[in-house]
Amino acid sequence: MVLRSGIKRAGILATGVVLLALSACSQGSTTKQPDAGGSQSAGPANIKIAYQQWGPGTVMKKFLTSAKAEYEAANPGSTVEIVPIVASENDYYTKIQLMMRSPNTAPDIVYEDTFLINSDITAGYLKPLDDYIKDWPDWNQFEETAKGAAKGQDGKIYGIPDGTDTRALWYNKELFAKAGLPADWTPKTWDEVLTTARTIKQKVPGVIPLNVYSGKPMGEASAMQGLEMLLYGTKDTLYNFDQAKWVVGSQGFKDSLGFIKTIFDEGLAPQPKQALDPNWGNKVGSDLLPNSKLAIALDGSWLYNNWMKSGAKPWPQWSEVLGQTAMPTQDGSGKGKVSLSGGWTWAIPAKSKAPDAAWKFIQTLQTQKNATRYATEGAQIAVRKDVAADPGYKSSAKSTQFFTDLVSVTVYRPALPEYPKISNEIITAMEAVMTGQSSPEEAAKNYDEAVESIVGKDKTTTESQ
């Protein structure tokens, strides 16, 4: 679902942090400070790692289980407890934030979406990692954009990225053939996407022509993979970085909502009750696409991990049946195509009782071998140079090069403390339009008012960059 950006030492710690570590040790942790060069002479410690499990969650579960075995073998007496949280994106964010509020419930490592980093920093949930990474040689392998996605407004690093992603249109070439459409589909405008969806509806009845995530249950997938993939294909943006202000009164925002209204009003999208199913994202990957029930999906680069041998729906033929093409800009102007990137990081909660052991486990997750394995099996776009150069990674899937090339046109969300609240208002506007409760103009007006209420009118502008 979502960005997921690239989502993902030594050094003498400040006195306060030393005291925190000593306090943690007094509560059962027996960790020590890291040695020079990023290695760590941590004694036995029990650590918990919490992450969001999508569907069966086989890929991440197997990856973490393998890393746990590797870590425990190298650190006798230590134990790693893997805590999968099976929940929708918004529910997952809420649950981990509740967990991080107290030392009694805080995990020692948490899988953190990059768009939440600054809001969680502001809330005091995350620990800066600079004293750990400054002499960690592997940090030099990470792309600067990936490092930036894990950086707080204070300039410190709060997470280690494990990959990024891009987004585009997946389409079923067999269904296209039935509709008399080309196997090499390259739409240049929104109208061409809509025309294709209308052709599918007319000539291949019973198939959902086009899926664009929308509505509250799909959470950030709706905001990012839905409306923002449209908005950033117009001449407008969410945030003007030059002015450091949020954009309101945007024609592009209204036009993007208009696209959502069109596909739902014309029956080109799923029925609203289907699209508002919290499990809709899982169904797209594990049922609708592999069973030829959906012709076009605006979705992410990771989607094929559902169809690998270890995935939720093994489908060896996927690379022959499905094609990928870039999402065009509204009228073909600008760069002509658009993508958004997100990603996830491994972060250490501020109230972890064993932060040093947690860091050592993150190092285990991020050896070159393990990072390559996860990028390959987890269908991630590599954020490490050594992983990106690995022959096994480069040949792991036919779609890898296509989605990697989209990095050249990709856009990142404004990962500011206010963004999660702004995102929620985007989703609210989308749902109001898709269910017919509001026109695009009414929903956009309500969105503008909500943004002004969240950030203050002086922090808004009508000018996009």
The model's pLDDT over 289-332, given as tens digits with 9 standing for 90+, comes to 999 999 999 999 999 988 988 788 999 999 999 999 999 999 99
Indicate if 117 and 188 belong to the same structural domain.
Answer: no
pLDDT band at 43 (very low <50, low <70, confident <90, very high): low
Indicate if 24 and 59 belong to the same structural domain.
Answer: yes
pLDDT in tens, 441-452: 999 999 999 999
| Mean pLDDT along residues 415-433 | 95
Indicate if 355 and 292 belong to the same structural domain.
Answer: no
Indicate if 82 and 99 belong to the same structural domain.
Answer: yes
Which of 296, 318, 340 is the endpoint of a domain? 340
Q: What is the DSSP letter of 398?
A: T
Domain membership of residue 37 (yes or no) is yes
Terminal Cα distance for the chain, rounded: 27
Indicate if 20 and 78 belong to the same structural domain.
Answer: yes
Nearest Cα neighbor of 228 from 419, 404, 418 is 419
Indicate if 299 and 346 belong to the same structural domain.
Answer: no
71: Cα separation from own chain's centroid: 27
Token readout for 173 is 């070439």
The pLDDT of residue 55 = 62
Query: Is it the case that residue 390 has pLDDT exceeding 80?
Result: yes
Indicate if 284 and 380 belong to the same structural domain.
Answer: no
Domain membership of residue 178 (yes or no) is yes
Measured CA to CA, the distance from residue 40 to residue 18 in angstroms comes to: 15
The pLDDT of residue 148 = 87
99: Cα separation from own chain's centroid: 21
Indicate if 300 and 347 belong to the same structural domain.
Answer: no
Indicate if 347 and 332 belong to the same structural domain.
Answer: no
pLDDT in tens, 136-148: 999 999 998 889 8
* Neighbour tally for 122: CB within 10 Å: 15
Measured CA to CA, the distance from residue 68 to residue 79 in angstroms comes to: 8
Domain membership of residue 310 (yes or no) is yes
Measured CA to CA, the distance from residue 250 to residue 235 in angstroms comes to: 9
Q: How many domains does the chain have?
A: 2
Helix (H, G, I), strand (E, B) or coil at 237: coil
pLDDT band at 161 (very low <50, low <70, confident <90, very high): very high
54: domain CATH number is 3.40.190.10
**Sheet holding 322-325: strands in order across?**
208-211, 294-300, 167-172, 322-325
Helix (H, G, I), strand (E, B) or coil at 328: strand
Nearest Cα neighbor of 188 from 340, 322, 331, 323 is 331
| Mean pLDDT along residues 257-277 | 97
The pLDDT of residue 397 = 87
Domain membership of residue 56 (yes or no) is yes
Measured CA to CA, the distance from residue 260 to residue 113 in angstroms comes to: 25
What average pLDDT does the structure give for the chain? 89
The pLDDT of residue 1 = 37
Backbone angles phi, psi at 443, to 5 degrees: -65, -40
Domain membership of residue 346 (yes or no) is yes
Handedness of CA 264, 267, 269, 275 (dihedral sign): positive
Q: Could you give the C-alpha distances from 423 to 99, 218, 226, 247, in angstroms and in order?
A: 22, 12, 11, 13
Number of H helices, E strands in the chain: 21, 15
The pLDDT of residue 224 = 96
Domain membership of residue 89 (yes or no) is yes
Domain membership of residue 286 (yes or no) is yes
Domain that holds residue 215: 167-340
Indicate if 112 and 212 belong to the same structural domain.
Answer: no
Measured CA to CA, the distance from residue 351 to residue 107 in angstroms comes to: 8
Domain membership of residue 436 (yes or no) is no
Handedness of CA 451, 453, 454, 456 (dihedral sign): positive
Indicate if 328 and 377 belong to the same structural domain.
Answer: no
Handedness of CA 12, 15, 17, 19 (dihedral sign): positive
Measured CA to CA, the distance from residue 377 to residue 379 in angstroms comes to: 6
Nearest Cα neighbor of 390 from 378, 375, 402, 407 is 375
Indicate if 154 and 24 belong to the same structural domain.
Answer: yes
